[in-house]
Structure formats: structure tokens, C-alpha cells
Structure 1
Amino acid sequence: MNTRKKKSARRYVYVYILAFLLLITACVLRPVDRTPYQETDYYRQTISNVQENAATITHGDTLQVGWAKRNITPPAGTPLAGYGKRLGMAYDTVHDSAWVRTFAFSNGKTEAYYVALDLLIVPMEVYAELEKQYPALGLKPEQVYLTATHSHTSFGGWGKKLGVKFMSGKYDAELVKQLAQQILQSMREARGKMQPTKIGYGSVEVPSLVRNRLLKDPENPYYEDRLRTRDTALRFLKFERPDGTLAILSVFAAHPTILPSKAPELSRDYPGVLVDALEQRVAFASFSAGAVASHSATYFQGDTYESTEAVGNKLAKRLRQQLASVETAYVYTLGYGRTPMQLPVPQWRISKDWRLAPILFNSVFGKHPAYVTSLQLGSTVFMGAPADYSGEYVATIREQAQLQGQQAIITSFNGGYIGYITPEKYYDLDEYETRSMNFFGPYSGSYLTEIILDQLAKHSN
């Protein structure tokens, strides 16, 4: 072959290689879609879901309340959940056990449940298993309001897909079934203990214990906003029976990520300290993660149990100081709701303007349903998000609730998971929460918040 023919052949090879690379790139990468969410089909479908799925609001007899807890700690050798860098590391000791803590409510016309799990999230596989079992209790899924403490040192083993297993270790189908049964048993026990009970809402500001971790870098263009963009309230319900027995349901918006990621110990982090300290004074207590996206606990004794003790005990002390002044009353309204959310195609980014193809995201994380959930007890309405939901949205939601003559409490991790939800002004920041963990595009925060507000409006008096 002469030189000219050789060069021509090489050119063809280069062209084929280039075409192949372009084809692969086209299959793997997509530009970020910045279409306003109000102009999309998924938004229109969800608005239709909002209109079609009315909340159940009943006004009946005096609300009866029961509570129960069960130890859900699996044996040593079970993986921890919360940090990918553990690579599925198992724990060999239990510093403090994990529990499911459940409240049951009935006003004679309907009943509902509030379930708090000492887990990173409410696992999607557990959620699916529970939905199969609810009919045996005479319940619909919307009657069970699910939450988690979001401890990053509790157990895993509950995720099937690669991306979930990366954070929670090897999947264990028996663990999932057992956990679902333990939750159901706690619901049965709480149901069997219901009594007429007064309820009161309380809140105390604890700004010294929470920081906006997304805005920690002085080079961040929003750094000066770091103090005013926090949800610093410890919110709680006080339950009081005629004999003086008290129970507490508490919610706070700071990540329980104090303890070191590489220690092979299971712990509830600071929420465990808070709940244990409260139960030294009251009959029962629970904790749920609030709008924790961007929010971390502030502590000063390193990644140690001394720090979890300090944070948990200070929260407990501040709550107890407020407790006596919280008035309680019998209430008669019990409500609940669930709105299915249609999601945009995944936009899992590798750079500011480029994302991986949806098929890659779905193969790594799977496709799961997402809902906005709600639970109303008298004039207090809980709103549940399927995400690490940002505390920066809390003020807007609470303002609407106040206009409705109500109090709103926002919790994250209601059984679905769509990533970190932060305001879109942060979308182009090259940060973990806004780049790696923003799964569904620049307007996820405004979209989810609008649906939460629509769901809240259904509970308007």
C-alpha cells in the first residue's frame, strides 16, 4: 500500500473513532434542561394529582392518642448507612440502639399514625413492603405518616440499587421484611394504648446549634446570608393525659452527622441523646429530622460522643424549659393526605451544564414513587417531603399555615427520595448538595415547595 493510501486509511479510522466517540457521548451525556417547571408536562400532571387527591379531614370525638416503641437494631455485622466512603462497612458494636417510635391517633371517625425511625431515611424498599401490609390493619398508605431521624450511624442493608447500596451496604431482603413487621407491630401496640389526650404546640429557638453548611466557604457568593438562611427552631408537640402522663414529639433541622464515618459502631447520634434525656422526665419521646438540607449541627468537641451528648442534652434542656408554658387542649380534628408527584427526567450532573443520560441514573438509583404527605392534629399540620428538604423554605410554608390559622411542621424522608432540595439560586454552585445530590434539575426546590403549599392548603380550616 502506498503512502497516500495509508494516510487515507488512517483518516477513515480516525473518522470512525471520532464518530464512535461522539455516538457514545450522545448516549451518555445530555445538556442540562433549564425549562421552567411550570411549562412542563410533569408539573401539569402533578397539579392534576393535587386537584384529584383531596385530603381526608374529619371532625369527630376527642382525639385519642397512643404511643409505642420497639427496638429495631439488627445483629452486629449489618452494614452502616450514611457515607459512601465506608464502602458498606459493617458495625461490630452498638453504642445505642435504633428504635421505631410510633404515635397512633383516632377521633372515632378515622385514625392515623406518625412513625419515626432511627434510620438515615425511610427506605424505599421498606416503604413498598409496608404498603402491601397496610390493608391487614384496615389502613390506606396516606394514613401512615413516615419520618426518620437521619442518623448517619444507624444501620443499612435496605437498598437494592447500586447507588443506594453505596450509601447503605449490601442489600438484605430479610432485614427489610423484618423491619416492616417491626413497624407494623409498633403501630398495633400504639393503637391498643390510645386514650383521650390533650395536645399543645411548642417551639424554642436554638440558633447556636445549627449552621448553614452550604454557605460555609467565605468565597461562596452567598456567604453573607449564612445566618439568616437557617431554620433554627426546635418544634414539638406536647401530649398530656388526664393522669398527668406526658409524651413529646420533636423535630429539628440539623443533620445528625457528628460521629466519625469510619467508626464501626451503631448510634442514633444526637437525636438519641435528646430522646433519652427527655424520657428521663416524660413517659415517651420521639424525634424526626426537619428540613435538614444545608443544615448541620454546631458542636465543639470534635466528632465524638461528647459532642452528641452536648448537642442532644442542650436541645433537651431548652425543650424542657419551654414545656411547662405550653398549654394543651383536647382537639377533635384529624386529617391526612398524600399527593403523588410526577418527576422530571433525572438531571444527575457531571458539570455545570452537562448531565448523565437518565438511563444511567435510573440504573444506579432506580425509579421510585414520590409523594408529598400530610398529617393534621387539631391546628397543627405536619408536611412530609420525599427528600433532604432545605430549611430555607420553612418560613414560606409556616407563613401560609399561619394565614390558615395553623402551625406547620416540616419533616424530610417520608418514604421516597429525590435528593437534596435547595433554592435554585444555588444550583450552579459546585458543591456536594447542589451538584452531586441534586437529582432532578434547577427548579426542584420551587416545584416541590409549590406542591407542599398546595397540599397544606387542603388542610385550611
Structure 2
Amino acid sequence: MSSRRRRLLRSLLPLMLLTVGSAYALASWNWCGRWTERAPVVLGQVRTEGPLRAGAAKVPLAPPYPVVVAGYRPPRPEASQADAVLQARAVVVAVGEVKVGLVSLELLLVPEDLVARVRERTAGLGLQEVVVVATHAHSSFGGYDARWVSQLAGTGRFRKDALEAAVAGATEALRQASARLTEVSLEVGEARDAVLVRSRAGGEIPDGALTRVVLRSAEGPVAELLHFAAHPTVVPRDRPLLDPDWPGRLSLLREERGGVVLVLQGTVGNVSMSYGEGEGAELALSFARAVSDLAERAVPAAAESTRLAFARVEVALPRPDASRLVPSYSRAAGDNFLCASSSRTTEVGALVLGPLELVLVPGEPTVGAGAALVRRTGGTGVLGLADGYVGYVETPAKVEEGAGEARRQYFGPTLLDRLGTGAELAARTAGFTP
């Protein structure tokens, strides 16, 4: 290096250090401000009982190819086609004039903006409440979540056309389901197989429970709801193809028997690879067949009750907390990044369908967190990834220890308690059985 260049570098060094120091100071400033705590507020509620009607539909999603494959940190592949067509599946359940719509999207998650847009576009369908859930497929398309943390951690660069594709599919599926209402009976069954699932991150062991709900008309099944918990991460992450993973394949397998089949995620568990053979898409199909066999063992029986109820409650979120996610020297900057990506409120819900009383959580509750919510509400189970996404929800003890899924939780140890307080109000409002 010439003496002239050395002198130039020496002269620029103070400016470079000042620039870096200023950037660090700016990022470390408390941009979050104060996050106030307030009591949960009921946003909507319906309660009724009587003869059931139901309609169902599925609509292919139309991703704006080429599109990023969501589900993992960068680098992410880009896809120009799908290995299996991604779907939006909807069920509308009605008692008298009360109608509740449930739409499941074969996506990684459903951000609040997506949920709000679906509700706005379906306002003319006469639905008192609309629930939007994700199957949590880690190989579906991304680009539909504008929040910075989502773009970085899972869904890729935001694109309005990707958000529109998800909203359009959900809206059309609900529209078609609403137009197909017919008298149905309600049947519910349950079976367990702990071999199919395993614990994540050293947390509590999932029990492998599957709840099967059948809405049956005189002509045959209208819809089937399968409530089960296992992360859809079977398909390899580096394939340049969109894929609905095992939930999509399970729905297709079951739909050969008739009706529209929605796979609903419960608390966090991982697919156990000890049950079958193959890899990638072949393994996903193998797991789907195993869960379908479990569903056959969950022989549905006619429900004595035909209650239909739903309650939505707004909950104030605690301040984001990056202490477990980033090194200590960048804690303040990490908090600021999470604050810029997070709403200060979220929704929890309570859904009653016959004997089922489900707590709806806008994220991924662990097995321990789900058990705590069931104890607090008296519900029969927890439905995750519903009506928004606040990330993982771990028990306060695990958060304090930095154990379990705490290293993936965006908020501090009070998150579960905030959600639980809202869930209790939702459960009372929806009329959960004491």
C-alpha cells in the first residue's frame, strides 16, 4: 500500500469510527417507548344452539410466480411452480341466521393484515365471525407479510401481489362455502398415537392426539376437520418448488372419500421420522398416510350438543424482548427491530362447536403453554396459528430459563399470561362448559 493511501485511510478512520458509533447509538436508542397494559376487550361474540347447516369449498391459491419459498431463514430458493397445488379451504357453519366461517390457508402463517383484509372482503356474506388459520407449511410461498421480522425470519421480501393471492383465495373459498349451506349432522371422534410426533427443543412431549370432526349431510360428508399438531417441515427446505407438505397431502387423501378436509394445527410438536421410510415429498406423503390412518381410528360419534359459539378478544401485548435472540451488546437494537415489526395488540378467540371448546391463539403455543391455556379456560384443546401471528408462546418458567422455545419467542415471560387472561374472557363469553 502506498504512503498516500495509508495517509488517506488514517484520515478517514475517525470518520468511519464516528459513523459506526453513531449508527450503533441510534440503533440502541429506545425507539419502543412505553407499552401500556390494559384489560382485554371483547371484539365480537355469537352464541346459539339448534339444527346445524354447513357448506365447504376449496380454491387453488394463485401465487405470483416466480415467488420466494417461505419457511426458513435466508438464503431462500425461488419457485416458478408447485409440486402440489396450494389450496384455500373453507367451512361455514350456521345455526339459524348465525354463521361462522373458518378458512385454512396452506401458508406458513397468517399476519393480522391478511386476516383483516379477508374479513373486510367477506363482510357481505352474512358471516358474523371469520376465523383465518394457516397449516404452517414451511415450503409454501412467501412475500405476503410486510413486517420486518417476518420478511427476515421466514416469509421473504414483501410483495403486494403475494398478499393479494392469499386474500383472494381465502375470500373465494368462503364465498363458495357460504353458497353451499345444507343441513348436516355433527360427529366427533378422537384417537392418539404418540409415535407420530416428538418434542421440540427439549419441551414437554406431545401426546399425538387427533380430533376428527365430520359435518355430514344426507348425501355424504360436507367437511372434515382434523385437529392435530406436528410441524410441516418434512419437505426439504432448499427445493425450488412450492409444496403444502404433509397437511396438504393429508387433505387430498381424505378428500378422496368426499367433502373438504381442513387440517388444523394444535400445539407445537415435530414430525417423528421413526414411523416411515423415504425422504422429502415421499416422506411427507408417508406421514400423511399415517395421520389418515389415525383419523380412521378416531371413529366419529354423533354429538349430543349442536352448540355454535365464538368470541374474539383483543389483548394488549407485552413489550418485545430480544434478550434471548441476540447478543447482549445488540439487545436494544434487537428490541427496536421487534417493536417496529409488532402490533401492540393481538386477538385470542374461543370457538364452540358441539362438544368442542377450542382456544384460538395467534401463534405457536408449546405443549406446556397449550396445557396452561386449557387449564385456565376449561377448553378441550388449543388451535394455533389463528387470526394473526405473534411467534412462539412458551411458559414463563421456560422463558426465564431460556429453555424450550424461549429462544424463538419475541416477547418476554408475561406473553402467555396476557394471552391466557384474554382467553379466559373469550371462553366465558363463548360459554365454555365450567
TM-score (norm 2): 0.85
CA separation in 2, counterparts of 1:75 and 1:451? 37
Q: What pairs with 1:28-427 in structure 2 (closer than 5 Å)?
A: 28=28, 42-43=36-37, 45-47=38-40, 49=41, 52-53=42-43, 55-59=45-49, 61-87=50-76, 89-139=77-127, 143-166=129-152, 167-215=154-202, 229-245=205-221, 247-292=223-268, 295-300=269-274, 301=277, 303-323=279-299, 326-329=300-303, 331-349=305-323, 350-351=326-327, 355-357=331-333, 358-363=335-340, 365-367=341-343, 369-398=345-374, 408-427=380-399
AA matched with 2:312: R
CA separation in 2, counterparts of 1:396 and 1:427? 14
Q: What's the offset of the Cα at 1:54?
A: 6.6
Task: Report Cα offsets for 1:348-368 as digits up to 9, x if no partner.
Answer: 2224798335433233x2436
Task: Report Cα offsets for 1:415-460 as digits up to 9, x if no partner.
Answer: 322121111222245569322x211102222332333233223223
Q: What's the offset of the Cα at 1:297?
A: 0.7
Task: Report Cα offsets for 1:367-400 as digits up to 9, x if no partner.
Answer: 3641002222223223211111112233344456
Structure 2: gaps (5+ residues): 1-13
Q: Label 1:138 to 1:196 Cα distance change in 2 as closer, same or farther (>3 A).
A: closer
Moved more, 104-113 or 392-401: 392-401
Q: Is the 8 A contact 2:92 2:178 kept in 1?
A: yes
SS at structure 2 position matched to 1:282: coil
AA matched with 1:85: P
Q: Is the 8 A contact 1:248 1:285 kept in 2?
A: yes
AA matched with 1:86: P
CA separation in 2, counterparts of 1:203 and 1:81? 32
AA matched with 1:460: F
Q: CA RMSD in A?
A: 3.1
State the identity as a percent: 22
Q: Is the 8 A contact 1:369 1:416 kept in 2?
A: no
Task: Report Cα offsets for 1:79-116 as digits up to 9, x if no partner.
Answer: 111101334x3113311111111001111131111111
Q: Label 1:245 to 1:230 Cα distance change in 2 as closer, same or farther (>3 A).
A: closer
SS at structure 2 position matched to 1:341: strand
CA separation in 2, counterparts of 1:23 and 1:353? 14
Q: How many residues align?
A: 410
Q: Is the 8 A contact 1:81 1:152 kept in 2?
A: yes
Q: Which residue of 1 aligns with 2:414?
A: 443
SS at structure 2 position matched to 1:236: strand
Q: Is the 8 A contact 1:290 1:411 kept in 2?
A: yes
Q: What's the offset of the Cα at 1:261?
A: 1.1
TM-score (norm 1): 0.80
Task: Report Cα offsets for 1:298-342 as digits up to 9, x if no partner.
Answer: 11447512221221101101111323xx21247542211111111
Structure 1: gaps (5+ residues): 1-13, 31-39, 216-225
Q: Is the 8 A contact 1:145 1:375 kept in 2?
A: no
Q: Label 1:236 to 1:352 Cα distance change in 2 as closer, same or farther (>3 A).
A: farther
Q: Label 1:109 to 1:153 Cα distance change in 2 as closer, same or farther (>3 A).
A: same
Q: Which residue of 2 aligns with 1:10?
A: none
AA matched with 2:394: T
CA separation in 1, counterparts of 2:278 and 2:366? 25
Q: Label 1:329 to 1:379 Cα distance change in 2 as closer, same or farther (>3 A).
A: closer
Q: What's the offset of the Cα at 1:41?
A: 8.0
